[in-house]
Amino acid sequence: MSVKIRLQRHGKKGKPFYWVVAADARSKRDGKYLEKIGTYNPNTNPATIDLNIDAAVKWLHNGAQPTDTAKAILSYKGALLKHHLDGGIRKGALTQEQADVKLTEWLDAKSGKVDAKKDGLTKVQADAKAKAFKAEQDVNAKRLAVAAQAEADAIAAANPAVEEEVEASTEEAPATEENNETTEA
């Protein structure tokens, strides 16, 4: 019996959620499986992958063939690297300690990249939110200015005497500012 490591779709329409399973190659996509190895949720950014690396490596040692997508997931989480390093241990090229060190170094570097992506995404979201807030404030300020101008025009149209007083007060204001500047200097 040939075994495949593949994805089994779950979730509702438009919101896929996958189980990573080891299944007989002849079984249906969402049918009977031998062992559930992990889960994959592509709806989050970055995608959430929960994988039992030891179980995946066990199936790879037993000859299971991953599908293209499953192979990408196994590579992303380090299962293929562990399988490769175990082959080096069997051949005598590495010791178990050396393989463990290489795997932990690779996993640390990978987690650093993932954390950097998450930080970048949160920063982009915060910048977009601040930009939208600033644009909203500008629109509100313009709207208030237009409303105040319309109200002033309506008052001026209703009372022509008030308009003359407003014009006189605006003419006096620059003169008082010039007097203040000469006294300060």
pLDDT (tens digit per residue) in 73-89: 999 998 999 999 988 88
Question: Per-residue confidence at 94, pLDDT binned at 50, 70, 90?
Answer: confident
Extract the tokens encoding 128: 């977009």
Residue 6: which of 90, 52, 72 has the closest Cα? 72
Q: Which residue carries 């690297």 as its tokens? A: 81
- Distance CA(44)–CA(131), nearest Å, equals 24
pTM of the model: 0.62
Residue 23: which of 82, 64, 74, 52 has the closest Cα? 64
Length of the chain measured in residues? 185
